[in-house]
Amino acid sequence: MELNKEVLDCMKALRRRLREEQAVDIRLSQPDAITAMLAGSLRSSDEQTRHLGLRLAELSEQPQPTTPSRPQPSVERATAEPAGSVRIYRGQRIYA
């Protein structure tokens, strides 16, 4: 997806409204920022926030979810970890 000025302006406006209404802090650099904003707009009771969510879904060419999505608990499978050092970088394991 291409991030042009119109998409970024819509994301900034929606992010600002979600922060004020729901105290949700979404960074534009997050890999799931658009999906988090769309989910937040569905939970909103404000019509303008919902409209911004619909506009963002149109601009980003993503389908608007029909129900608020709840974060699924992450289940990590027990796997043999490679020998060596392990670092955590932005929430991801990095094996060196």
pLDDT digits (tens, 9 = 90+) for 11-36: 899 999 999 988 888 888 888 888 99
Give 84's DSSP letter.
Answer: S
SS3 at position 17: helix
Mean pLDDT, residues 39-56 = 90
pLDDT at 63: 59
Residues paired with 88 in a beta bridge: 93
Q: Which of 11, 23, 24, 22 minimizes the C-alpha distance to 52? A: 11
What residue segments make up the domains of the chain, in order of their start? 5-60
Q: Return the pLDDT at 67.
A: 46
- Determine the pLDDT at residue 70: 52
